[in-house]
Chain A
Amino acid sequence: MTEIYIGVFLLGILISLLAWYKRSPFFNFIGIQIAVYGFLKGLALFIPPLPSQVVVMYMAMSVFAFFIYFSIREETFRAFLAPIKSVLADRDKVLYRVVIVFIGLPLLAAYITYAKVRPSFEPPVSARIVHPEPPTEIDFRGKKIQILGLENPLRKDTDRMKDYLEEGKKIYYQNCFFCHGDDLDGKGHFAEAFNPPPLPFRGTDTIAQLPESFVFWRIAKGWTGLPPGSRPWDSAMPAFEDILTEDEIWKVILFIYEASGNKPRTWE
């Protein structure tokens, strides 16, 4: 949809060039403003979209600057005003006058006013922090566990890795998959019931960016361990320290990395 602004931009340029060729500063001005508007909105294709306030500000600056530009020389300014005067006064421009000045502009102004004063109701939204700050240490059912610098203790045991992964798979499909998905894509059969939606493990922006100890903390402490910025009151993630053992959590972590094709980040 944003692509349409490329068209708006090009249309503005075209009008401006035509007007320049026809020596009509007024339409040149109009063309430039359309092009600027298309440009500002079209930027959303490359960078996050500009807030509407900012667009309004830049447009005001552009109108002001180009108005000065076109009014600085008297003959240009006269040419600039000519179409306006003509629509307002000329006898053969009655149709333009009625449509633009007497109907179009008043309606436009009324509509803009309406859009400004009409009550609009937006339910509160709060941004979600995907990777909240982990604590340096947690209390796992009375046992102190240092999170910072912690590695998965089972990962070194390569001989039994196959068993661990299988056990992790069993734990995943008895505790996690309803929400995080059969395919670890965050689209489990309960997923749409919860808000924020469960995170996927596939892809490169969740567990792929995290050390395993962070994941351990999230699983062990669930919603209760989240800082306020992460909206703990909305999260359906259980505190699995009440349900799984320490070993079981490490096993399921091995599984979710393996099955999603991701590697944990390491400490260094």
Chain B
Amino acid sequence: MWMLIVILFICIIPHHLYAQEEMGKKIYEQWCAQCHGYEGDGEGYAKDYTFPKPRDFTLGAYKFRSTPTGEPPTTDDLVRVIKNGNPGTSMPAWKRLTDEEARAVAEYLKEFAPDVFEYEPEPIEITPPPYSEELVKKGKELFRVAKCVECHGLEGRGNGKKGWEENFRDDWGNRIYPANYTYPWELRNGSDVRDIYRTITTGLNGTPMTSYQDSLSDEERWALAYFIKSLQLDRRLGISLTIRKTEAIPQSLEDPLWDTLEYLDLPMGGQVIFEPREFTPVITNVRVRGVYTQDEVGILLEWVDKRPNRGDDGLPPDGIRIQFPQKLTETGNPYFFMGDRRHPVNLWWWKASTSQAKEYVAKGPGNIFEQDNQDVRAVGEYKEGLYRVLFIRRLSTEDTEDIAFIPGRFIPFAVQAFDGREEEEGLKCALSAWYYLMLEPQTPLKVYILPPVVGLLVFGIGYGLHRKMRGE
């Protein structure tokens, strides 16, 4: 009897392992190799069309682990990345795979660097202390002391000067940028405080992000994690933005009014429609808000650029432009990227080289003309990784080629952004779809008057009936 069981075991186990290996290889080659390569070397078809580049598995160096620095990841770490993906990269969350399938792929990945995975490493312990203001304050202090600012910048936008150096690269020699903490939706390793703690503690193998397990105490690392978490922005997606009326448009970008306004975040994609195409844009979000007065409208655009370019180092200058249809029609908008011959658009284009805005008319991609009448002025600044550009124009101009802003109307707008360091100019840029902005009109008087009148009327009828019934 025992003999039989032993024989059965011997037969089943290798067979099971073999089946798992087959499954892992099959899924890998069908759904991973296009980026990571059939040999696991990161040389897949998509490698030049993605940023960051696909991971090369052959060195066994993994960024996202729950294990101490220099160690391989646990199988669970690999499964976590497969199932959750890496936000902000082209690595999607493979929710479609079952746990068994994801595990099989993870096992297959290990075979690209078998000597690294000879043992299953121990994960670190992650138990967060309760949140407290003191912890955040302490984290803020540590953020400077532990030199996080050198790469990640004072406000955590990934704009530290060290990241600008030519040799700021990963172990494969690829250019990389320090993380921007303010965009939680694109933190590769997750945006939860545990994820941040894990990154600080374990470091990211193969990158300049080292482990702080030895140099900072556990409490200090949690303090840092809570501080970094506090920098995250609240992203508001939608299709329209309401612009409020005020007495005057603040001419200073430091004015507290700006922070009180409703905003809209525009996700940006690469211009992949016309040659030359931009496959790897790094400007991924532009925040828009605005105010208007009796005569003028002011629109403020904000975006993170980790390293500013004014165009004096042989690279094109950074810039941004906001696009409006020249005329509002019922039959549809102009093409969302620069319009076309019959449906021209207005472009207000701010460039970091002059810090000024110019008005253009575009009649299709690359078909762009500077306008004779320049009616737009702009205030721009770059501070701690953040560009802020305020465009101001009169609500309507005498120029027949300009859009007119009428309160109560939904006015389509789109944004195109240029990062000079990425050699973005001409058609190479990050772009948004059409969105709408609306100048909030005055509330009509009847809104304040009618409801109380109707209420009183109904009360009167009720009271009258009551009196009448009593009278009977």
CA A172 to CA B31, docked complex, whole Å: 12
CB–CB B463/A102 < 8 A: yes
CB–CB A231/B332 < 8 A: yes
A-B contact count (CB 8 A): 162
Within the complex, what minimum Cβ distance (angstroms) separates A181 from chain B? 7
How many interface residues does B have (CB within 8 Å)?
Answer: 67
Q: A111 with B469: in contact, given A173-B46, A187-B92, A228-B331 (CB under 8 Å)?
A: no
Contact of A123 among B30, B408, B438, B452 (CB under 8 A): B438
CB–CB A102/B269 < 8 A: no
Within the complex, what minimum Cβ distance (angstroms) separates A109 from chain B? 4
Task: Let me know if A121 is at the binding interface, CB within 8 A.
Answer: yes
Contact of B89 among A106, A110, A189, A228 (CB under 8 A): A189
Within the complex, what minimum Cβ distance (angstroms) separates B167 from chain A? 28
- Residues of chain B with a CB closer than 8 A to A195's CB: 239, 433-434
Within the complex, what minimum Cβ distance (angstroms) separates B216 from chain A? 33
- Residues of chain A with a CB closer than 8 A to B268's CB: 193
CB–CB B459/A228 < 8 A: no
CA A236 to CA B432, docked complex, whole Å: 10
Within B433-472, which residues are at the interface with A (CB < 8 Å)? 433-434, 436, 438, 440-441, 443-444, 446-447, 450-452, 454-459, 462-463, 465-466, 469-470, 472
A-binding segment of B107-115, B225-233, B270-278, B388-396: B270-278
Task: Let me know if B58 is at the binding interface, CB within 8 A.
Answer: no
Closest to B469 in A: A89
- Residues of chain B with a CB closer than 8 A to A169's CB: 34, 45
- Residues of chain B with a CB closer than 8 A to A178's CB: 49, 90, 269-270, 272, 279
Within the complex, what minimum Cβ distance (angstroms) separates A245 from chain B? 15
Task: Let me know if A113 is at the binding interface, CB within 8 A.
Answer: yes
Q: Is the interface of A mostly helix, strand, loop or mixed?
A: helix
Task: Let me know if A133 is at the binding interface, CB within 8 A.
Answer: no
Task: Let me know if B84 is at the binding interface, CB within 8 A.
Answer: no
- Residues of chain A with a CB closer than 8 A to B458's CB: 105-106, 109-110
- Residues of chain B with a CB closer than 8 A to A109's CB: 454-455, 457-458
CA A228 to CA B49, docked complex, whole Å: 32
CB–CB A236/B455 < 8 A: no
Within the complex, what minimum Cβ distance (angstroms) separates B434 from chain A? 6
Task: Let me know if B105 is at the binding interface, CB within 8 A.
Answer: no
- Residues of chain A with a CB closer than 8 A to B57's CB: none
By Cβ-Cβ distance, the 7 closest A-B pairs, closest first, are A193-B269, A110-B455, A190-B269, A89-B469, A195-B433, A101-B462, A123-B240
Listed by A's residue number, 7 A-B pairs whose Cβ atoms lie within 8 Å are: A97-B466, A112-B454, A113-B455, A117-B446, A121-B408, A123-B239, A170-B45
